[in-house]
Structures are given as C-alpha cells and as structure tokens.
Structure 1
C-alpha cells in the first residue's frame, strides 16, 4: 500500500519527523499505525471524546504507566500538559535505541479541550525537545478540518512542522473486494457493489459482515436490526467530529433530500442557515471529512460550486434507516425510493472511481475535467440534468448515464428520446464544437437493440470499476 510505503520511508530517516494522519471516522487510521508499527511504539496516547482536562490527564497517567512499566510512578499524577510532556521527554531520553523513537497521539483534537493548554504544551514539546531528536511523532484525528487548521496550517510555533501527511480514504471497490477475500467472505461483484452503496468502503463497517450471508441479509442485520452497528451510528458519527453538529447534519440532510447536487444558495434555502464565513466553514469541514464533495458545473464560475452528499452511509441512513422501525431491507428494496437512491448512490461510486472509468474508456493519458450540468427548463423549453460529464482535451465530451440494474439494461424508445433531448439541450446551451459520446454505465452493460446500436457510443460495466 502507498500509505505503508510512506510509513516505511519516514521511519527510516535520521531526523525528527511529524506525520499527520487525517480521514473520516472509522476509516482505519488507528489500525494503520498500530498494525504497521506493532511493538515499535514507544508511547501511545488516545484522546477521549467530551472528556474534561482532568480526565484527559488521568488518561495520560494510565498510558504513561503502561509504557514505562511504573518506573516514573512517583512523578504521577501530572498537574498539566507541560508537566505531562516534560515527563514524556525524560522517559524517551532514557531509551537506548539506534532506531527511530515512535510516539503516537490518536484523536489529538479531543485532547485540546477548552483552556487546557494542550496545544501550547505540544508546541513546547516539539520545538524544545522533539525537533532535535531522531523521532517520529504521529498525530491522528478524525476531525480533518481541525487537524488542517490547528496543525497543518498552524501560524504559530507549529508552522511548517508537519513533514508528511496521510489523508486516509475509504477503500475503493477493488480494495473492498480484496478485504472481503481476506475475511473469507465470498460475494459476487454485484453484491459487493450493493454493500458499498449502503456503507461505503469503511473497514470498521465491512468487518461486521458475516460469511454465508447475502448482501441483503448483511444490510438487514447491520443496518436495521435493533442492535445493528449502523442502526444508530449516524448521530454518534457527526457528534464525535463537530461541535454543534446539528448545523452540519442540516446540510447533509438537505443534500440527501435531492438526487442531484445543490448550489450554496440552494443549501442555504433548504437549511435556513445564515450565509457568511460560518456557513463556509461548515461546508469546508464536511468536505475535508469526506462526507460531501464539491465540483464546478460545466463552463461555470466558482461561485456556482455544486455540492453532493458522497458519504454512502449517511445517504443510506437518511433515505432508509432514520425513523424506521421493524423494516425489512428486502421490502424496502421493492419500493420506488430504492430506485431513486440506487441511481444516485451508483453515480457517486462512478464519480469516486473516475480513474477506473477513464481506463475503461481508453483515455487514461488524456487530460480531462469532470463536471455536470442542470438546466431547469421553462414553459417553452425542456430542461436537462447530466450528473457526469467527462470533458476531454482531445475534443470529445463523454455524456455519462449511470443505471443500476441487476441485469443488462435495455434502452427503450422513450429513454432514447429522453437522452436525445439531453444531448440537444446540452449542445444548444453550451455551443460546444466537441464530439458528444453518449456513455452508458451499468453493472451488466446494455442489451444491444435498435435504440442503443449507433446511439450509445461506449458502455462501461461494473467489472471496469473494480
């Protein structure tokens, strides 16, 4: 893995290094560090959510006793963070090792409680002691925006002190398939795709899967059973990351209510929140934590940025799990809402696997820009929505349609007419001189017939996304 190679490279340097690891909660940041370094960690401290300063310091005392085997028991308890880091330096100074010292501070944002003095003490620890040693300080946090603002873009004593950064993203489809094989779970790619649409490539969620159960059975047990891991994960997830998470959740709910991206103005209208810097911060925090994504509409300016809810679990929860009791997933999957959700979720997966999509289209080396368009239309003109456009430097634009079906998709006469309208509206509104290639993405491809042959220029199947 790329991340493991980076850990190896930084461990083998002969200098002081600070590595910042960010990523969505439950994505496997802690596992990556512990699994790679195993018994090579000289100290590890884990922040506690919503704990007081006294509780966090008690937590330090317990961790310190564990790693020092009670050799410094008379120096405990520590009264503040300066004392804590000073004691840590004395312990580390007494370690006789030719190899790099490694300390790991997990969920660092939770340690920085109000008026705790943690950041000032950590600054002191790094600049007066650690920066002169052969040491690797790994700091980790699920609140990616906090890590970026307080550490990576720090303007004080920690300015430019982070030497390497890992932003750990969820598994791709191919990584998810490999992980399930590691767990000895044998599912078809279509069923893996169904699971991915519901819970994404989050290792913590995927390890709840049981061998011998279908995707539908696993989803039913994990998401809808009373004690299912994901039945009540949503509020815990957002409240663990954000202060006043109600505002963040409001934005996510607004985006989940529409099967298309929303502009900033549309989100403001839906949430009734005030425009300004605070709202910009909310959007930025959600995007940095990998819950939403932003893109520019085709040929549009930056102020018209479009936002999409791209966290699979959040979308699935808000569409199906929230406020529902005694529901069977197989029953829900037969409702019209399933078709709407599955189409949007499948589009999101295509957007996340754009490199695989380009590879399938044979344009890996061609410079491209990915965007979408939405024309509302009016009394005298038809509208059009295209969620995935691949604008190519070789004078071609792939107009992509994603259709999630459990068999080869059939282009009907009515659907072909709808697609022709989309192409006509796009041509008229953009005045593009590029060739338009209608591209259909569906798990099992399309059925060749009079409406698809010669009209659909390229097709992509789910195997191409793995």
Structure 2
C-alpha cells in the first residue's frame, strides 16, 4: 500500500492507511511548512485511492480558481468532457458531489484538496461552501475520505483545525508534518546513495534542517561543503533565492514576518515578546500575537519558557536552520566567487555560529537526549535558564535544563567541535560556578547532574573527572523515537 521510498513518517503512514479501513467518512487535515513532503506522503500512501485531486493556485482571483477547479473535475470525474464553470463555490461543490457519487459504490475513495488555504480568496465564501459540502453531503458518505493539505500551517490551524463554524469538531484526523530528525536525515541521504559520516550529516542539517526537498539537493560523492556550496552559493542553486520565496508563499503580508525573523537572527539567545515589539516597531496587541503564532506554527520560530517563569515570559528563538544560515552567510555573500562556502566554513564566524546551530539541533532532539540518559520513561520538563544577576562575571546561562520527576535535574552544556572536547581549568571552574549559581537562585534541593553533549566526545582528564556526570555523543542523537502530534 505504501511506497518503500518514504523515509520515516511511520505514525503518519499508519494514520493515513487507517483512514482507508475504518468504514466512516473522514475529514483529515495535513499541514506543515513548505517543502516538508506533505504531498509526497499523501500521494505515496493514498495514490491508488484518490479519485479527485485539486491544488489551489496561489494569488489568483476567484474566477481563475473556479476555472481551474472545474477543469480538474472534467478531466478526472467527467471523462475529459468539458464542464461549464460554476458561478460560485457552492455550485462547484454541488457538482463535485454529483460527480463523486459513482466513485463511492465499491470501496473507500479519497478527495484530495492540496494547498487548501490558497483556494480561499477574498469574498469568495469558499470556506462556507466547503463547510456546507461536508455537513450536508460528504460527512454522510462512509466510503469517502477528504484530505485537506496546506503549507500555510497557521491558516490551517486557525481556519480548519480550530474552526468555530461549520467545521467545528468535524476533523477526524490531523497530521502536523515535521522536518526529519538527524536519524531520518541520515536514512534519507542513504536512500539516495549519499554516504556521509555523522559529522558531515550534522553540518548539512545545520544549513538545510530536516527539510526533505532541501536535502534532496545532496549528490552522491560530494562532501557537505560541496553540497552546500552548490545549493546555496551558486546562482542556479535550488536554495539561492528560496528565502524570499518561502515567506511570501506562506504569508500574504510578509514584511512584518521578515522583520521578526531578521531581529531574531541577530539575537541567537532569543528575544522576549516585548523586545520583539520594540526592536521591530510593532503594535502591542492581537496582531503581534497572531504574527508570532503564524511563525511558530509554520516551524520558523520556537517559544521557550525559562525555568521558573510563565508563558508570558517566553523567549522566542529563530529555529529554522535554513533561515538562520541564509541571513548569517548567504545574504552577505551573494556576490561571492566559486568556493565561497569552503572559505567561510573555515572561519571563526562559522565556529561561533556552529555552536549555536548545534544547540538548536539538540533542543529539537530532546527525546534522543532522554533516551541516551536512560530517563525517557521518567516525566520531565525541559527549559532554558539564565541567571538574574547582571554582572557578566557572576551571571550564568544553561543551554538546556531537564527537570525530572525523580528529584534530579540535568544541567546540559552543549559544545560543537572538530575534535574531542577537553576541559581546561578555567572552563571547569566556570561550569562549577554555573552549577552553584543555579542552585542558589532556583533554591532547588534536587540532585544536579552536569551533562555534556558534544559531537566528538570528551577527552577525560583531571578537570572533567568528578565534574561531568554524563556525556552524550553525536551518535546518540541519531536514534528513532515516537513523535507526538
């Protein structure tokens, strides 16, 4: 039923396959950022069962959208015999019901509407018409599954998943498709005969993230540096102009989104909501809340609640690898000559950036970290922590805090190096000071473990023995885990 070329996505494949066998009408929603593989997943799992498929056209008026839709109906459901273009979406869905009826007699069939948000145009009443279509006809067809898919994740969540009108509580299945993990990225590359060691895979992930269509630019026999050079620093490269296209395709008024993304790119440690408003000169209110929710739902930024704080104190970080990479290296070097990335990847700026990039990767692989520590069966909460002290000599920040129900806390220090990490006396003293300040300010009585996460492992010496309680290597991040949501 499924195509062997699908890497990972085990829970998602099982859910889609279950739709075909459950004997009830289904309204399933699939959303996730652009290039993440939504359409590929649906086609490969359900292709033999799709009776009608239409993909919304970006930035056209209602008449053009209706013309395209009716042409698709004629081609797929009316033996290629032309149909008159309907006057509105209510008539279009009435026609759809009539043409689909004959497909429902024998086995479960799928109606697939891709780029669903693009079908909604101003004053078109599209969503109201679809609501009526589902409630008055489609929901009564036990042999029908409708799949709604869209890259504008925030629109899908607000208008479909959280719909307060005719689709309220009508969604039967939901898939929020996420980027690949390191484990899935390695498997995907190997499926394309791209054989790279895990240090190289991680370098590629730092620039591309776990976006399958970006990773598809990798070619066998090339290093991570060569792959990034071709995709990002040549004018014909797939990702050369992706940054602007990416945001404009997802957000109608992308200028404010660009401002927030650029502001967060300049502050790797993140900004609070009030700081974002001040830096970007935004209005405080619902519009800014919606803006941050849109970027978060689409996977570009991530809110983190500092330990001991509340939701309103969240720190927002830019966590989309490609966006960070573009603004840090690609945009300032668009006029560079051949070999630009080979030169840039051997500079102090790259070494500094790679540290932050690896921290972000580790934050996305917390389930793998917990597995490595043997605590995946213990309830825990993760956060970042920053000292309240103002003095740079007394202040402290901890990259990742795992606060466990078994009366222990892991204080995780994250380092990315080309060789095994070795602690000198100064750094060892700084770590001990962090631990002391953390206990003093949080007033915790829990046992504190200092945990080092480093890509090349640690060089045990007199400074690390007795100070570092556990260390996690890069290999331990390349493991599968069951995802939530």
TM interval, shorter chain, is: over 0.9
Give the structure 2 partner of residue 89 of structure 1: 97
Is 1:182 the equivalent of 2:194?
no
1:263, distance to aligned residue in structure 2 (A)? 1.4
Is 1:335 the equivalent of 2:344?
no
2 CA distance for matches of 1:285 and 1:233?
19
CA contact (8 A) 2:432 2:467 kept: no
- Counterparts in 2 of 1:82 and 1:72: CA distance versus 1, 3 Å: farther
Give the structure 2 partner of residue 119 of structure 1: 127
1 CA distance for matches of 2:433 and 2:230?
43
Give the structure 2 partner of residue 283 of structure 1: 292
Answer with 380-389 or 134-143: which moved more: 380-389
Give the structure 2 partner of residue 109 of structure 1: 117
- Counterparts in 2 of 1:380 and 1:61: CA distance versus 1, 3 Å: closer
Give the structure 1 partner of residue 411 of structure 2: 399
1:344, distance to aligned residue in structure 2 (A)? 1.1
CA-to-partner distance for each residue in 1:277-319, whole Å, 9 max, x for gaps?
Answer: 1111111111111111112111112221111111111111111
For the residue of structure 1 that corresponds to 2:307, the secondary structure is coil
| Residue 362 (structure 2) aligned to one of 350, 355, 358 | 350
1 CA distance for matches of 2:75 and 2:121?
24
| Residue 201 (structure 2) aligned to one of 175, 192, 195 | 192
CA-to-partner distance for each residue in 1:105-138, whole Å, 9 max, x for gaps?
Answer: 0011001010112112111211111011121000
1:460, distance to aligned residue in structure 2 (A)? 0.3
- Counterparts in 2 of 1:379 and 1:64: CA distance versus 1, 3 Å: closer
Give the structure 1 partner of residue 87 of structure 2: 79
2 CA distance for matches of 1:133 and 1:302?
43
Give the structure 2 partner of residue 433 of structure 1: 445
CA-to-partner distance for each residue in 1:407-431, whole Å, 9 max, x for gaps?
Answer: 1111112211222222222122111
Alignment of 1:23-422 (within 5 A): 23-68=32-77, 70=79, 72-73=81-82, 75-95=83-103, 97-134=105-142, 135-324=144-333, 325-326=335-336, 328-375=340-387, 377-379=389-391, 382-422=394-434
CA contact (8 A) 2:182 2:210 kept: yes
2 CA distance for matches of 1:424 and 1:456?
14
CA contact (8 A) 2:383 2:401 kept: yes
Answer with 56-65 or 234-243: which moved more: 56-65
Aligned length: 465
1 CA distance for matches of 2:103 and 2:313?
56
CA-to-partner distance for each residue in 1:62-106, whole Å, 9 max, x for gaps?
Answer: 322321254552x32222212211111111112264211210000
- The runs of 5 or more residues in structure 1 that have no matched partner are none
- Counterparts in 2 of 1:265 and 1:78: CA distance versus 1, 3 Å: same
2 CA distance for matches of 1:329 and 1:289?
28
Per the normalisation by structure 1, the TM-score is 0.97
CA contact (8 A) 1:19 1:136 kept: yes
- Counterparts in 2 of 1:89 and 1:458: CA distance versus 1, 3 Å: same
Per the normalisation by structure 2, the TM-score is 0.93
For the residue of structure 1 that corresponds to 2:332, the secondary structure is coil
| Residue 3 (structure 1) aligned to one of 4, 9, 12 | 12
For the residue of structure 2 that corresponds to 1:58, the secondary structure is helix
1 CA distance for matches of 2:466 and 2:391?
32
2 CA distance for matches of 1:100 and 1:379?
66
Answer with 89-98 or 100-109: which moved more: 89-98
- Counterparts in 2 of 1:96 and 1:272: CA distance versus 1, 3 Å: closer
For the residue of structure 2 that corresponds to 1:334, the secondary structure is coil
1 CA distance for matches of 2:19 and 2:103?
20
For the residue of structure 2 that corresponds to 1:322, the secondary structure is helix
1 CA distance for matches of 2:135 and 2:176?
24
- Counterparts in 2 of 1:398 and 1:220: CA distance versus 1, 3 Å: same
CA contact (8 A) 1:408 1:445 kept: yes
Give the structure 1 partner of residue 27 of structure 2: 18
Answer with 181-190 or 257-266: which moved more: 257-266
